[in-house]
Structure formats: structure tokens, C-alpha cells
Structure 1
């Protein structure tokens, strides 16, 4: 199934967050591809890894995968759209979770019901796609829904679990594209210095720098994390700042860059009585703050 036309661009010079499902596809009962294989004609990419994460089913039955495009559109379409693949069950879990948490806010939401026949018809897929777009558009207009754990789980849950598993297996080269794609999605939806965005950014920096040879994009993400951490006040997130500085200090040394500013910052914090040496690594600090599958 393919959307017949793109959603109209916002008017009046506004920039709007847009969810669009440009296409959906029915996947056959073939075994799920390996992360090292050529799934979807791509190898070692976020799309490949995400396909493995979201498209497998233990029952071997056919199912529909919806490609959810996340964009910030203005007078021109978002030049860097990002997408995630989700099934009906992902949307249903999101709806059920929000309905239990905020029943009053979900009263007027029409969610497509399960059907016993015709699951794979183009008409039904089109109707569901339109309903899912409206549902996501509504969520981001209501702060309590937008900031809920249910919505965050919908946006990043599958990819983050897979990325953490890959990091635990020391397969960072496959984890990094997943984390990059997830970061770009969260960065479009939430504030630059929101907890979920900064935590994901620090995960990305850790994934890029824990290999013997840093990832080619490691400096870009590390520099962004340092900029984002300026004036951060969230006490939970501040526990990552010293490990982040130490990670960047080591990375700058590996790249032959000037480390004086980082060293000065660490010295300043040390003079304030903050422990700057002998602490956890960035990956360990992240794991302590939000334990998941990775153990580094």
C-alpha cells in the first residue's frame, strides 16, 4: 500500500511536527533476516537493524509493517525526515497504555479495531494509516501524552533494546546506526535538553567511543553532547556530565585535538569538590541511571 499523496505543508511560515505513513507492506512468513545479512537490500544500516527488530514474529504469520515518517515541515518539506517501522500491535499497545493512564484524554480518539478478515486489503491499510497519523498528531499536541513513557516506548523501545543488545555483544558498528536514527526522531519531537534526548545522545557517544577505533561520527556526536550539556540543571542527567567530559578528553587525545578546554572544565569541577577521577565510564553511568541490556 502507498499513500496517494503527501500531507499538505503548513502555511503562514510555521514549522510543524508531522507524522505521515507514506507506505505499508505485508511481510510474508519468511524467517527474519540476520543482522549481518542483506535484509531489505541493505547491510549494516539503521533500516536493516530496525527491520530485524520490528518485523520478526514468532508465529510466522503474515503481518503489516507501517513506515512512520517523522518530519518537521515548514514552507519546504523537512530535508532530513526520519522513519520507524511499526506494526498494528505497537499502535495498540500505545493506545491501551495511554487510555489506562489518561482515560479522559483518549475519549474522543477513534482507534481502528482488530478485524478477523481482510487484514491485508489496501482499503483497510489505508484507513488504519490515516487513523494512526491522526492519533500520533493528537498525542504531540497534549503535553501529558507527549511526555508519557508509553509514547517514548513507542518511539524508541524496539530499536533501543536491539541497540543495547548489540552493544552488550560488542557489535557497536550495528548499534550506532540504530541509535543515530532514534536520536534524530526524539530530537524532532522533544526539546534539545530534555532527559530522553540527552540520555539517548550520551548512549550514542558511548557506542561511538567504546570500540578500540572510534566511530567516524564520534567527534560530531561528542561535540553536540557537550554543547547540549551547557546549563543543564536536571540532577539525574548531571551524573553523566563528568563521564562525558572524560570520554571526550580521551577521544580528543586519540584524534590529536587540543584538550585544554576540557581539562580546564574538569579542573574547575574538581576544585568545587566534585569527583572527576576514578568514576564510572559513560556507558556504566548510563546503565546506572537507566539499566537495560548492556553491561559495559
Structure 2
């Protein structure tokens, strides 16, 4: 259809070649009229079978397919010759279908994937031992991942994990290959590089088993020890170091999709306490609110009253609405819980949690 229109247009142009630039001096200047031309030609573009398009074109407004019926561009006007009404019905059948398809969202879902990458390996030597510290970064692909999550482990940590998993998950671990211990050349670049790649593949493989990645053995290797370290740092008053450790543990829990609510509650509450002691009240209130959400349906949780009281106090200081927490605290009191003689949030974390 397009080739026929082009041929007819050329014939029309040849017929008017008698006009010269001198006859029409105003046409000798070039000007941009693409916006106007696009508006006038909108709706006439269609894709599909040629016979369907030609049939619709010929039948529009009673047009019988006269060879003299052509669309020619003269100056800035769109002339229609051979049509007494001077109107051209747009072929909208296929155009509307295209517009409908273009409106549909072009969303390609990318499957999220967790990977483990050894970012560095350093030889550590102190007065009693010498070992290689492998820094492994946990990365989630397929989504926006701006939170760093790192663990630092040595060969003996991996060996202990492998031994424990073989005892508890014999069927899944039956064909898992673990790098053997070497007597010599443990600290050469070649050995360290090979072990780094082996540890990445090892973690990737054991993470593929749902029973393993949800087990306490697996979680202990990744973040449970960090929670214990964070608690000890809080006890010692080293809140800045504690917060750094706890935030990294939180990122690990989120990436590993840990389903243990008690671990998440302790982490969020501890981070809130660290921020509060550094006088960063908005951050403290935000983490306190998130911690409350994990136990919103547990009326007798030992941390519920201290969290509500802390959230009311922090919300008041940062000018946020505290009425919901106040109403909840009133409900808890009506059940007979003594809300006046409760340990502080920090006392709970230091003395009672994770013992």
C-alpha cells in the first residue's frame, strides 16, 4: 500500500514541476513543520496485513479506490483530491490495537538471587596463631540492594560449618565438596584464590537447600554470633561499635530472609537503644516503631511495655503522633499488667535477651 501511495505522489509532483522557485519565492525557505504535520497525519499509520489495510482505506467515506485519490502535501496543507467531501476517514482499527498494547505495562520480572562474593582475603598473624581472614559479601541481585552485608570467616569456621551440616543434613550434603585442609602452602596467593572461589560456590550450594538455610546452624554462621557480640558491646558501653555490628546483622537477616522474629526483634530494639544513647532520636524512634510491629499481636511479650513506653517518649521528643502507642499501653494495663515497675529497654536487652 505504501509503495502505491509513493508512486501516485511522484506522479502528482511531476505534474506540478512547471512551478519554479521564482514563481513561489516564499517556498524557497526551509522551515520545521513536523509538529503540525504529525498532528494532521495522526491515526493514519497502521501495521497489519496489506489486504486488510487497503480494504479499509478504499472503503473509508465511500471511497472506491479511485487511482486519482491521493494524499499530497502542498505548502503546509494536506490536500485530498478525488474526494468531493474533502475528508479522509482514519484507519483506526489497527491503530487502536497498537495503542492498547502500548498502554500495557512493559514490566519484566527479574528473579531475585542471592550470591556470595569473597571481596578480600588477608593473612592475619598474632602472637599465638596465623590464619587467613576471608571477607564475604552477601549480595542480592534482581532488586535494589544498597545495604552492605559482610561476614569475616576463616578456614576453620567453614570447616566447622561443613562438619555440622554433614551430621544434620546427610542427604543434602552427600555430594557437597569442601576444600581439603593443606599442610603446606596455605598462605600462597594460589591457595587463597582457589579457596576463595571454593567458598563462594560452597555457600551458594548450601543456600539452595531450604532446610539448611533456615537452620540455626546456617544462621549461626552468618549473623547469630554478631548478635551475641552486639549484646556484649552494649554491656560494655561501646554503643558505636555495637550499632555497627547490629546494623550489619540486620542486613544479613534481611538478605537471608530469616523467619526468626525473636532475632529481628532483638536487632531492631538494640539498634534503637544505640541511636537513643547517641541522641539520634528520629532514628531511634523509627527502629523502635519497627520493633513494635514485630510483636503487635503479642499482649504478654516481655519487651512490649518497655517498647511502648520508649516509643511514646521518643515520639513526643520528635513531634510524632504517639496516641496509638498510648492507647495500646492503656489496653495492656487494663489486662492487669503492671506497667509502672518494668525494667528499661536497655536492661532487658543486656540482662534477659539472648541468654
Answer whether TM exceeds 0.5 for this pair. yes
Task: Identify if the C-alpha distance between structure 1 residues 103 and 127 changes in structure 2 by more than 3 Å, giving closer, same or farther.
Answer: same
Task: Identify if the C-alpha distance between structure 1 residues 216 and 258 changes in structure 2 by more than 3 Å, giving closer, same or farther.
Answer: closer
Unaligned runs of 5+ in 1: 1-10, 30-56, 292-296
Out of 293, 310, 323, which is 1:227 matched to?
A: 293
- Specify the SS of the correspondent of 2:228: helix
Residues matched between the structures, number: 247
Correspondence for 2:136? 68
Task: Identify if the C-alpha distance between structure 1 residues 146 and 121 changes in structure 2 by more than 3 Å, giving closer, same or farther.
Answer: same
How many Å separate the matches in 1 of 2:257 and 2:237?
29
How many Å separate the matches in 1 of 2:353 and 2:229?
19
- Is contact 2:120–2:134 with CA below 8 Å preserved after alignment? yes
Deviation at 1:14, TM superposition (A): 0.6
Matches within 5 A, 1:1-296: 13-27=110-124, 29=125, 59-61=128-130, 63-74=131-142, 78-191=145-258, 194-209=261-276, 211=277, 213-214=279-280, 217-231=283-297, 238-286=301-349, 287-291=351-355
Q: Which moved more, 1:254-263 or 1:117-126?
A: 254-263
Task: Identify if the C-alpha distance between structure 1 residues 229 and 206 changes in structure 2 by more than 3 Å, giving closer, same or farther.
Answer: same
- Is contact 1:18–1:70 with CA below 8 Å preserved after alignment? yes
The higher-RCO structure (CA 8 Å, 6+ apart) is 1
Task: Identify if the C-alpha distance between structure 1 residues 85 and 190 changes in structure 2 by more than 3 Å, giving closer, same or farther.
Answer: same
Q: Structure 1 length normalisation: TM-score?
A: 0.73
- Is contact 1:192–1:228 with CA below 8 Å preserved after alignment? no
- Specify the SS of the correspondent of 1:217: helix
Unaligned runs of 5+ in 2: 1-107
Deviation at 1:285, TM superposition (A): 3.3
Deviation at 1:231, TM superposition (A): 4.7
Q: If you compute each CA radius of gyration, which structure gives the higher value, 1 or 2?
A: 2
